[in-house]
Amino acid sequence: MSRLVVAGHHDFRLSLAHPAITVNVAHMTDAKKVLLEVSGGRGYDAVILATGNRRAFQDALELLCAKGRAVLFSAISGETPVDLLRVHAKELEIVGACNDQERLDEAVEYLVREAARSRS
């Protein structure tokens, strides 16, 4: 069963993601562990990273299932180490996305629709 999980630091923003499963990671010492538990230990087929946090990027790669896709929607400045053995062995895909072409509302509507469908 597919699940849409949204993690973030602000309850107000997370409340806008209904009916997705939301996880406030603001004060967690091990957000990656909690997000893995939310996935039932399976991990995720895709992760959209909308924060410029290097640790979040590393966690996202670790949380991906084999053949998963990480979409970098937010810039991470400076050098960021990437475990290329993990990328190779799990056949991961890393994609940059910096121009939404004013389609954010459409994307959010799609995610909400998919979340509702996956819960029914």
Residue percentage of the chain with pLDDT more than 70: 95
Residue bearing the bigger pLDDT, 102 or 75: 75
Q: What is the rounded average pLDDT of the residues 19-39?
A: 92
| H or E segment and range at residue 117 | helix 104-119
Quote the pLDDT of residue 41. 93
Q: What is the rounded average pLDDT of the residues 59-73?
A: 94
Residue bearing the bigger pLDDT, 4 or 118: 4
Residue percentage of the chain with pLDDT more than 90: 53
Domains in the chain and their CATH numbers? 5-119 (3.40.50.720)
- pLDDT 10s digits, 76-86: 888 888 999 99
Q: At what angle do helices 31-38 and 54-63 cross, to 10 degrees?
A: 30
Q: How many residues does the chain have?
A: 120
Q: Is 5 exposed, middle or buried (0-12, 13-18, 19+ CB in 10 A)?
A: middle
- pLDDT 10s digits, 98-111: 776 777 778 778 87
Does the global pTM surpass 0.85?
no
